[in-house]
Chain A
Amino acid sequence: MTSIPAPRTPNPEPRRAHYLNVSYGVRSWLLTTDHKRIALLYLTSITLMFLIGSLFAVLIRLELLTPAGDLVQSDTYNKLFTMHGIVMVFFFLIPSIPAVFGNFLVPMMIGARDLAFPRLNLLSWYIYMVGAVFTLWVIFSGGVDTGWTFYTPFSTTAATTKVIPAALGIFITGFSSILTGLNFIVTIHRMRAPGLTWFRLPLFIWAHYATSVIMILGTPVIAITVLLVGLERGFHLGIFDPALGGDPILFQHLFWFYSHPAVYIMILPSMGVVSEVITCFSRKRIFGYSFIAVSSLAIAFFGFLVWGHHMFVSSQSVYAAMIFSVLSFAVAIPSAVKVFNWTATLYGGSVRLDAPMLYALGFIGLFTIGGLTGLFLATLGVDVHVHDTYFIVAHFHYIMVGGALMGYLAALHFWWPKITGRLYPEMWARIAAAIVFIGFNLTFFPQFVLGYLGMPRRYHVYPDEFQVLNVMSSAGATILGIGYLLPLIYLIWSMRYGTIALGNPWRATGLEWQTSSPPPTENFDHTPLVTEDAYAYGSREAHVI
């Protein structure tokens, strides 16, 4: 740690009031309605959930080191991948960027004092916590083994684990998503600073707007679906169980109607982050602003029309499968447009590879691979072979972890000085970014090969010929694990020992940078007046506080 500069205070100034020091004590946090403090409550809770979800991943990768089932029993293994999925999807990835950075930044980026409904915002965190505590109780009192997908009739008839409580945990947490989405939409519509027209909004805001639409329209469907699973399991209503006159495939339609768009809840906010970071570290306007903005909405819209591509071998009609296939290709185009535009933004820029930029470029790399491998899955004939194999596992980890989590880490590093008023050790952050990128590829790339070779997912025991690739994957996961632990260490370290950050250490243009770090509770001393487009790097020097 000797390379880290000792903390220094550039301009010893009188103690300035900001949102962190305005009041102290547990009550001041648990009863806060300040969007910035609620963001930090979320940051703490989802970090905890991420660590729990990672622990399951560690055990899974350890078990898969050998073809035989030697570390844990089959039932335990099945619970491990189920709970890894539930915790990571519903309690980390879905809330991640919106609940932390969306909460912190949506009001600041549009020049508002807070979200439209501050108390609703606090309520959404409490709802999340109830759902999370409930789910943790399920985990530590026996767990659940249906897979995070809860496929019927397994979940409603055969499973002997805590299906109803787990479904209830997801049901409860869903309301937190709905409230967050509602809050963002109203805030973005009603509370923009004077002069901040729709097409002057940062792309982070567009991304969160599109995400919020999905949250509001999609989440009720998953809530109803898991409720129906609980009702059929508890009261034997014939909804999904064919023995009771139900239809098991109906569940898959309902489940994926939400859970496919849910992938866009995870990835769209990351895309918003990447647009902010790339422009800042290229000191350029974004290339194709309106195309990126509109493509977010296009993704949100088309995302609702492609759920059937999860069901190509589930006996749906051939013609339905064709419609879903062609629409899945259609939804790939707006994503491709974004990648091309980010790349073009670098062209002719003034590029610096600071840690947030490394994470953002890492996002482009991993998201590109994740997106391109989606083409194999959208292609009907090929999907028949790779469906439900490790090819799928690799693909969605590239999108949801490679993409969404890289975006999350980019955001964490980019806005860390704004949130805490401190700088982290840049050197360590760059090293961590490189380790995460390399470790991620070593972990998940072998799984593409495994999948095409035919190794099915959710296999506790597997044929010997798949061992080499599994060992490679587990070895990569060790590196990836180190990459994730490093930021946890140096970011916590920086909260006390980091260099004091200026208001705008990156010389970025967004409104959130035009106030001090950490910001005062009311965000701005005066409501800002916006007179130019987002990312106006070329036309003027962003002023530094």
Chain B
Amino acid sequence: MFSNLPLFPEQASTIAKDIDLLFAFILIVALFFSVLIATLVVSFAIRYRRRSDDDVPEDVHGLLALEITWSLIPFGIAMVMFVWGASIFMSLSRPPDNALDVYVVGKQWMWKLQHMEGRQEINELHVPVGQPVKLTLTSEDVIHSFYVPAFRIKMDAVPGRYTYTWFEATKPGTYHLFCAEYCGTQHSGMIGWVHVMERAQYQTWLAQGGMETTALAPAAAGEKLFAGMGCATCHRQASGALGPALAGLAGKSVELEGGRNVVADEGYLRESILDPRAKIVAGYRPVMPTFQGLVSEEQLLQLIQYIKRLGSADQDAGSAIAPEAEVVE
């Protein structure tokens, strides 16, 4: 009769088991202390109930050893929770190298998901089972939060920056996707489903391309944008170009004016497009105009994806894009 009263959420990711185990540990500790306090309070209240109004209780008002004990023991237990929780958090913040990339853009009130092979989805995410998936999130308007309870993962999609999380689904099925950060009128309607599929099934799904057969892979779309917006005018391989060459740039360390070094990650590339004067590459002048308001979040993702695919430094920008045949295995 309690079939419609679930008490524990489904476990469908590698991390879910770890988090539930830690949850169970804290639950046991919490139950122990709740029961301890409740038992003591109730039994003291009964045992030492006032029998006569003239009772003068014995004057016990402190015991240093006891104070130290009940400070240190909880502190020790708390530190176990801290280290355990921090280690799970650490692994959540580090996607494996072989993770499949999916871009997530939140907007009032929908989730737009972009696979690297070209397929785009709205409020539905198809992923293969047993394959780490890295999510790169941002938002077009206000803060949203990507939450899949069955995977025990949640990450805010913050406008103006990229955030990351990852998961590895462990069993095929369909799971809730919620927006967990209040975002206005249809906040509770900003929901969807994550479909975990067998690998072969996923490959078929990916190849079908669905309705949006015209959709290019993000890197190819980025290449078009790159040419269309005239980026190559300055960002050429030639010496004396106004802007730094971009081939092989992604992931490398860049020396800035003033001697500081930054890693050219997605956040840096994004900032350099939207706010080019924030970080000037050593040897270049701050002449690039901002593209704030000229490119959408999706176009930004495409440009960055294109720059990331711009192979090694000796390749010419134009020929760097291989057909998007390979799927990360």
Residues of A at the B interface (CB closer than 8 Å) are 69, 74-75, 78, 145, 147, 149, 151, 153-154, 157-159, 242-243, 245, 247-249, 282-291, 312-315, 318, 321-322, 325-326, 329-330, 332-333, 336-337, 339-341, 343-344, 346-353, 361, 364-365, 368-369, 372-373, 375-376, 378-385, 387-389, 449, 452-454, 456-463, 465, 467-469, 535, 537-539
Give min CB distance, B76 to chain A, whole Å.
10
Question: Which of chain A's residues have a CB closer than 8 A to the CB of B292?
Answer: 243
Q: Which of A283, A365, A462 contacts B55 (CB 8 A)?
A: A283
Contact A454 B176 (CB under 8 A): yes
Q: Which of B48, B63, B89, B154 contacts A380 (CB 8 A)?
A: B89
Q: How far is the CA of A256 from the CA of B62 in the complex (A)?
A: 36
Give min CB distance, A505 to chain B, whole Å.
12
> Can you name 18 A-B pairs with beta carbons within 8 Å?
A159-B184, A242-B159, A245-B275, A282-B57, A288-B61, A291-B67, A313-B155, A313-B156, A318-B89, A337-B70, A348-B57, A349-B48, A378-B85, A384-B154, A387-B154, A453-B6, A453-B9, A458-B187
Q: How far is the CA of A346 from the CA of B50 in the complex (A)?
A: 11
Which residue among A248, A249, A372, A456 has the maximum number of chain B CB atoms within 10 Å of its CB?
A456
Q: Please provide the chain B residues from 162 to 188 with a CB less than 8 Å away from any CB of chain A in the complex.
A: 163, 176, 178-188
Since A346-B40, A381-B92, A539-B59 are in contact, a sample of 7 more A-B pairs with Cβ atoms closer than 8 Å, ordered by chain A residue number, is A248-B159, A337-B70, A347-B48, A349-B48, A381-B15, A385-B23, A456-B179
Q: How far is the CA of A157 from the CA of B241 in the complex (A)?
A: 39
3 smallest CB-CB distances across A and B, nearest first, come from A454-B149, A242-B160, A381-B88
Contact B161 A284 (CB under 8 A): no
Q: How far is the CA of A387 from the CA of B44 in the complex (A)?
A: 37
Which residue of chain B has its CB nearest to the CB of A466?
B6
Give min CB distance, B23 to chain A, whole Å.
5
Given the interface pairs A145-B184, A313-B154, A318-B93, the reply to whether A364 lies near B41 with Cβ below 8 Å is: yes
Question: Which of chain B's residues have a CB closer than 8 A to the CB of A341?
Answer: 67
Contact A78 B187 (CB under 8 A): yes
Contact A78 B184 (CB under 8 A): yes
Interface string of B31-42 (1 = CB under 8 A from A): 001100110110
Q: How far is the CA of A283 from the CA of B52 in the complex (A)?
A: 12
Which residue among B18, B34, B86 has the maximum number of chain A CB atoms within 10 Å of its CB?
B86
Given the interface pairs A245-B275, A376-B26, A456-B147, the reply to whether A157 lies near B179 with Cβ below 8 Å is: no
Given the interface pairs A75-B185, A349-B57, A353-B45, the reply to whether A333 lies near B23 with Cβ below 8 Å is: no
Contact A350 B48 (CB under 8 A): yes
Give min CB distance, B303 to chain A, whole Å.
18
Contact A154 B149 (CB under 8 A): no
What is the count of residue pairs linking A and B with beta-carbon distances less than 8 angstroms?
289
Contact B161 A242 (CB under 8 A): yes
Give min CB distance, B27 to chain A, whole Å.
8
Q: Which of B29, B40, B176, B183 contacts A343 (CB 8 A)?
A: B40
Give min CB distance, A256 to chain B, whole Å.
14
Q: Does B294 touch A at the CB level, under 8 Å?
A: no
Contact A368 B37 (CB under 8 A): yes
Contact B37 A460 (CB under 8 A): no
Contact A463 B163 (CB under 8 A): no
Question: Which of chain B's residues have a CB closer than 8 A to the CB of A537?
Answer: 56-57
Given the interface pairs A284-B57, A388-B147, the reply to whether A74 lies near B155 with Cβ below 8 Å is: no
Contact B59 A452 (CB under 8 A): no
Contact A454 B41 (CB under 8 A): no
Q: Please provide the chain B residues from 1 to 42 with a CB less than 8 Å away from any CB of chain A in the complex.
A: 4-9, 15, 18-19, 22-23, 26, 29-30, 33-34, 37-38, 40-41
Q: Which of A329, A375, A463 contacts B29 (CB 8 A)?
A: A375
Contact B5 A348 (CB under 8 A): no
Give min CB distance, A436 to chain B, whole Å.
17
Q: Does B284 touch A at the CB level, under 8 Å?
A: no
Question: Which of chain B's residues have a CB closer than 8 A to the CB of A321?
Answer: 89
Q: How far is the CA of A78 from the CA of B67 in the complex (A)?
A: 46
Question: Which of chain A's residues have a CB closer than 8 A to the CB of B44?
Answer: 343, 346-347, 349, 351
Give min CB distance, B322 to chain A, whole Å.
32
Question: Which of chain B's residues have a CB closer than 8 A to the CB of A454?
Answer: 9, 147, 149-150, 176, 178
Give the segment of B137-145, B205-213, B313-321 that binds chain A.
Answer: B137-145
Which residue of chain B has its CB nearest to the CB of A155?
B142
Which residue of chain B has its CB nearest to the CB of A279?
B61
Which residue of chain B has its CB nearest to the CB of A290?
B62
Q: Which of A243, A368, A379 contacts B26 (CB 8 A)?
A: A379
Contact B143 A151 (CB under 8 A): yes
Q: Does B325 touch A at the CB level, under 8 Å?
A: no
Q: How far is the CA of A245 from the CA of B147 in the complex (A)?
A: 27
Give min CB distance, A135 to chain B, whole Å.
20
Given the interface pairs A289-B62, A388-B181, the reply to whether A379 lies near B45 with Cβ below 8 Å is: no
Contact A283 B50 (CB under 8 A): yes
